[in-house]
């Protein structure tokens, strides 16, 4: 059944808030003033904007989820290793979203934090998908098989997140190149600066 009336308008306004927040946070990151700018651009007061979300943390979590959805929509195969290099390159152009991701990831260690389910599911999905692709590469003889695929998947994610954390305090770091260097050391199929695209 099609959604009508106030409910449909509410969904449209909520989507507008998230898109606006995504654009503002990409440049400025999350600050108290950033939320006020989002509300003003959407023609709302702060209380009016928060009416569409259960909490401030819920809004911020939804912004990250929208970022993931848009990144997936831009790629035919969003969770491949070559796509990971593209994502890191894009992240360098949106420092505010990297700051938001790192900040929420730390806060989400609390099981009661609104972002906890998002990060829990995100890492579970990423580990499973990467492990499957690493397993295929191992069976094809394309990469070392003396480390279990599941552990290599965790290592890949640790490298990606660790590079972003360091990049936040030193913007001269080339995240894509560093990621490629790590893959080279691990003897993994890769696609990045100075490399040929792998099949994983």
Q: What is the pLDDT of residue 154?
A: 93
Check: pTM over 0.85? Answer yes or no: no
SS3 state of residue 109: coil
Q: What is the pLDDT of residue 30?
A: 75
Task: Say which residue, 87 or 170, is predicted with more confidence.
Answer: 170
Least confident range from 13-22, 82-91, 146-155, 169-178: namely 82-91
SS3 state of residue 184: helix
| Angle (deg, nearest 10), helices 95-107 and 5-28 | 110
CA nearest neighbour of 108 among 126, 122, 128: 122
Q: What is the pLDDT of residue 198?
A: 40
Q: Is the pLDDT of residue 123 over 90?
A: yes
CA nearest neighbour of 175 among 84, 107, 71, 105: 84
In whole angstroms, what is the distance from residue 154 CA to residue 124 CA? 10
Q: Is the pLDDT of residue 194 over 50?
A: no
Q: What is the pLDDT of residue 7?
A: 62
Q: What is the pLDDT of residue 189?
A: 52
Report yes or no: 189 and 142 within 8 Å, Cβ to Cβ: yes
Q: What is the pLDDT of residue 193?
A: 42
Question: Which tens digits make up the pLDDT trace of 74-91?
Answer: 765 555 667 777 888 888
Helix (H) or strand (E) holding 55: none
Q: What's the whole-number mean pLDDT along residues 84-110? A: 88
Helix (H) or strand (E) holding 74: none
Please, what are the domains in the chain? 1-52 (1.10.10), 56-200 (1.10.357)
Task: Say which residue, 45 or 197, is predicted with more confidence.
Answer: 45
Q: What's the whole-number mean pLDDT along residues 6-25? A: 88
Task: Say which residue, 3 or 123, is predicted with more confidence.
Answer: 123
In whole angstroms, what is the distance from residue 153 CA to residue 191 CA? 16
In whole angstroms, what is the distance from residue 171 CA to residue 169 CA? 6
Helices (H), the chain: 5-28, 32-41, 46-50, 56-73, 81-91, 95-107, 116-139, 149-167, 175-186
Question: Which tens digits make up the pLDDT trace of 32-69?
Answer: 678 999 999 999 999 999 999 999 999 999 999 999 88
Q: What is the pLDDT of residue 24?
A: 92
Tokens of 96: 């505010």
In whole angstroms, what is the distance from residue 63 CA to residue 53 CA? 11
């Amino acid at each position: 059944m099609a959604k009508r009336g106030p409910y449909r308008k509410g969904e449209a306004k909520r989507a507008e808030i998230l898109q606006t927040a995504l654009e503002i946070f990409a440049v400025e990151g999350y600050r108290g003033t950033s939320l006020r700018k989002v509300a003003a651009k959407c023609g709302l007061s702060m209380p009016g904007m928060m009416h569409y979300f259960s909490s401030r943390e819920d809004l911020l979590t939804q912004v990250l989820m929208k970022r993931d959805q848009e990144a997936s929509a831009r790629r035919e195969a969003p969770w491949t290793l070559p796509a990971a290099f593209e994502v890191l390159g894009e992240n360098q152009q949106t420092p505010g979203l990297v700051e938001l991701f790192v900040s929420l990831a730390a806060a989400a260690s609390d099981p009661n934090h609104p972002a906890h389910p998002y990060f829990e599911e995100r890492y579970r999905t990423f580990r499973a998908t990467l492990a499957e692709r690493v397993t295929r590469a191992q069976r094809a003889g394309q990469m070392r098989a003396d480390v279990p695929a599941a552990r290599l998947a965790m290592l890949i994610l640790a490298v990606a997140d660790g590079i972003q954390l360091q990049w936040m305090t030193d913007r001269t770091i080339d995240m894509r190149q560093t990621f490629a260097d790590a893959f080279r050391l691990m003897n993994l199929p890769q696609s990045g600066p100075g490399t040929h695209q792998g099949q994983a």
